[in-house]
Amino acid sequence: MVKTRTWVIIIVLLLAVSLGLTLWLWSRPRGDVVNIYQDGELVRTIDLSLVTKEESFDLESDYGRNTILLEPGRIRVSDADCPDKVCVDSGWLTGAAPIVCLPHRLVIEFAGGRGNIDAVTG
Amino acid sequence: MRKLRAAVTAALAAALLTGCGPAAPEPSSATIYAMDTVMELTVYGEEELLEEATDLIHDLESRLSVTKEGSDIYKANIEGSARLSEDAARLTGRALEICALTGGALDISVYPVVRAWGFTTGEYRVPGDDELRELLKTVDYSKISLQGSDLTLPEGYMVDLGSVAKGYTASAVIDLFRGAGVTSALVNLGGNVEALGSKPDGSPWRVGIRDPMGDGYFGVLEIRDAAVVTSGGYERYFEEDGVTYWHIIDPSTGRPAHSGLSSVTVTGPDGTLCDGLSTALFVMGLERAAQLWRDSGGFEAVFVTESGEVYITSGLEDAFTLEPGRGELKVIDRG
C-alpha cells in the first residue's frame, strides 16, 4: 500500500510539473528570444529578457567580423569589417525585418517568427 | 503491481501528449544566399526538395545575372547579341511585355544609367546632365530584338533582368514544389514573397509590408497561391549634399523616380509580373498606376504615398489589414 501511495504522489507531482511547464512555455514572452545564423547555421540563441547590462561580443567567421551589442531587451550590430556596413546601419533589431550582413552571411532575427506574420516584403 | 506500472506509464504518456498538443506537419526550411540577397524557403514536404530548389536558384542566377561572367545576359551585353537559354529567353520575353504594358516605366535597358549612379557597385555618384543625356540615348526597350532565343541589342545597349529575376525565380521554385505534389510552401527571396496554397491548417499566409517611414510593418496582406513584391526608395539609396538619391530610376529622365510614392506592393498569381510592376508602378505614380490597374487585370496593389497615406486597389479590401494607428485606408475603385 505504501508503494501505491508513493506512485500516486509521483504521478500527481509529474502531472503538476508538466502542467506548470506547459503553462510557462505558453505564457513566456516569445518576442524576446533572438537567433543568430551564420551561413544558414544557427550559431547562437540569446534571450533578450535575461540581458541585464550592456555587453558586446565578436562573431568571427571566414567571411569577417561582426560586433554584436546587447542591452536589456534589445540587440544590434555595433561594428563590422564588411564593406557596406548595412548591418550596422540597420540599428536595433525590430520585428519587421531581420538584421542581415550579406557579405558575412549573418542573419539576426527573433525566434518563433515575427508575431503572427509568415514573411515580410519590402 | 505490474498493472499499476502500466497505468503509470499510460498516465505519463497521456500527460506528455496533451502537453504538446496535436502533432502538426513539420515544415522544412532553408536559407540561401544568392542574387545579392538572403532567401528563405519553407516547404511542408520532403526535405530533399529544398536541395533541388537551391540548385534551381543557383542555376537561374548563373543564367540571368547581369554581373556574373558567362551568364547569358552578361554575354549579350558584351557582344551585343547572344543565344539565350530557355529560362533567360522566356524571362526576357516576359520582361519586354511588361516594359510595353507600362509604357516604358519599366525598361530593362536602363542598366547603363543605373550603373552610372553606382547602384550596381555601391560606388555612388551623381552623374552630370550631359552624361545622363548621352546614356539615355541607349535606353529604349522597344529597340531590343528577341527572335526565339536570339537576343540582339543595338550598339551601346545593355540589359538587366534584375527587376524581374527574383519574381521569376520565386515562381520557378513554387512550380518545382507544386510539381512534386507539395500543397503548402512559402518562399521569400529578399522581399519577393510567393506562396503555394495556404498554410497547412487552411488559413492564408500572412505577409507584412515593411513601413517605408520607419521600423516594423504598416499592414498585413493575406494570400493564397499568390506572389507579393514591394518596391520602395528606402531599399537602396545614398545621400549627397543633403539630397537623397534612391535606386529606382525613371527611364525617361535617368534620375531617381519621384512620383509621390514611397512604396508600392503588387500581388497576384504571376511572380514575374508582380516583380516588374512593383518597380514600374513606383515610377508611374499613384494616378497612372491606378489607371493601369483598371485597364489590365492579373494584379492588385498597395500604395504608400510620401506623406504616409495608404491606398489599396478594391480587390484587396478583404485581404489587406492596416495596422492600428495608421490612419484611414483609401480604396481605389474600378470605376
How high is the pLDDT of residue B21?
41
Give me the amino acid identity at A27. Answer: S
d(CA B275, CA B265): 9
Residue B257 scores a pLDDT above 50: yes
Residue B4 scores a pLDDT above 60: no
Calculate the alpha carbon distances from B192 to B153, B168, B209, B267, B315 in Å.
Answer: 29, 10, 11, 10, 20
CA distance B206 to chain A (A): 5
Instruction: Kindly state the cell numbers that stand for B149.
Output: 532565343
Nearest chain A residue to B21 by CA: give it: A22
CB-CB neighbors (< 8 A) of B186 in chain A: 118-119
Pairwise CB contact (< 8 Å): A119 & B205:
yes
How high is the pLDDT of residue A40?
77
- DSSP class of residue B316 equals G
How high is the pLDDT of residue A10?
92
Using a pLDDT cut of 70, give the percent of chain A over it. 88
Pairwise CB contact (< 8 Å): B208 & A84:
no
Q: What are the residue boundaries of the structural domains of chain B, listed by start?
A: 204-335
Residue B319 scores a pLDDT above 50: yes
| The most confident of A35-44, A52-61, B235-244, B273-282, by mean pLDDT | B273-282
Residues within 8 A of B (CB atoms), A 6-25 only: 7, 10-11, 14-15, 18-19, 21-22
Tell me whether A95 touches chain B (CB under 8 Å): yes
In a domain? residue A70:
yes
Paired with A108 in beta bridges are: A36, A99
Residue B155 scores a pLDDT above 90: yes
- Name the residue with higher pLDDT: B316 or A25: B316
Give me the amino acid identity at A35. Answer: N
Residue A18 scores a pLDDT above 50: yes
**Do the interacting molecules here have an ipTM over 0.85?**
no
In a domain? residue A117:
no
Exposed, middle or buried, B230 (CB in 10 Å: 0-12/13-18/19+)? buried
Nearest chain A residue to B220 by CA: give it: A117
Mean pLDDT of the residues in chain B: 91
How high is the pLDDT of residue A3?
84
CB-CB neighbors (< 8 A) of B232 in chain A: 122
Pairwise CB contact (< 8 Å): A83 & B122:
yes
Calculate the alpha carbon distances from B224 to A22, B179, B208, B269 in Å.
Answer: 32, 17, 14, 9
- Output the domain CATH number for residue A40: 2.60.320.10
| The most confident of A33-47, B18-32, B99-113, by mean pLDDT | B99-113
Alpha carbons within 13 A on the beta-carbon side of A10: 13
**Which residues of B35-176 form beta strands (DSSP E)?**
37-43, 81-83, 145-147, 150-152
Residue B19 scores a pLDDT above 50: no
d(CA A16, CA B55): 49
Residue B171 scores a pLDDT above 80: yes
Pairwise CB contact (< 8 Å): A96 & B211:
yes
In a domain? residue A6:
no
d(CA B220, CA A119): 10
What's the pLDDT tens digit per position in B48-90?
999 999 999 999 999 999 988 889 999 999 999 999 999 999 9
Q: What DSSP assignment string belongs to chain A?
A: -HHHHHHHHHHHHHHHHHHHHHHHHHHS-GGGEEEEEETTEEEEEEEGGG--S-EEEEEE-SS-EEEEEEETTEEEEEEE-SSS-HHHHT-B--SSS-EEETTTTEEEEETT-BTTBSEEE-
In a domain? residue A78:
yes
Question: Rounded to 5 degrees, what are φ and ψ at A48?
Answer: -65, -25
Q: Which of B65-74, B88-97, B212-221, B290-299 has the lowest mean pLDDT?
A: B212-221
Number of structural domains found in chain A: 1
In a domain? residue A56:
yes
Sign of CA dihedral B9, B20, A48, A90: positive
Confidence of residue B23 (pLDDT cuts 50, 70, 90): very low
In a domain? residue A11:
no
3-class SS of residue B327 = coil
In a domain? residue A14:
no
Sort residue A73 into left (φ over 0), alpha (ψ -120 to 50) or beta: left
What residues of B are in the A interface, CB distance below 8 Å? 1, 4, 8, 11-12, 15-16, 19, 30-33, 36-38, 40, 122, 186, 188, 191-193, 199, 205-212, 215-217, 220, 228-230, 232, 235, 263, 265
Nearest to B215 among A22, A94, A118 (CB): A94
Size of interface A-B (CB pairs under 8 A): 94
- DSSP class of residue B94 equals H
Q: Which of A118-122, B4-8, B48-52 has the lowest mean pLDDT?
A: B4-8
Nearest to A84 among B122, B216, B265 (CB): B122
CB-CB neighbors (< 8 A) of B16 in chain A: 18
Using a pLDDT cut of 70, give the percent of chain B over it. 92
d(CA B287, CA A47): 47
Rounded to an integer, what is the distance from CA B227 to the centroid of its chain?
8
Tell me whether A52 touches chain B (CB under 8 Å): no
Using a pLDDT cut of 90, give the percent of chain B over it. 79
How high is the pLDDT of residue B39?
94
Residue B12 scores a pLDDT above 70: no
Residue B251 scores a pLDDT above 70: yes
Nearest chain B residue to A117 by CA: give it: B206
N residues, chain A = 122
Pairwise CB contact (< 8 Å): B15 & A18:
yes
Confidence of residue B246 (pLDDT cuts 50, 70, 90): very high
| The most confident of A41-50, B113-122, B291-300, by mean pLDDT | B291-300
Q: Would strands B300-305 and A55-60 be described as parallel, antiparallel, or unpaired?
A: unpaired
Q: Which of A48-52, B194-198, B312-316 has the lowest mean pLDDT?
A: A48-52
CB-CB neighbors (< 8 A) of B1 in chain A: 3
d(CA B267, CA B300): 5
How many C-beta neighbours within 10 Å does residue A71 have? Answer: 15
How high is the pLDDT of residue B308?
93
**CATH of the domain spanning B204-335, picked from 3.10.520.10, 3.40.1390.20, 3.60.21.10, 3.40.50.360:** 3.10.520.10
Pairwise CB contact (< 8 Å): A122 & B205:
no
Nearest to B210 among A11, A22, A97 (CB): A97
- In the numeric block, the cell 537623397 is attached to B244
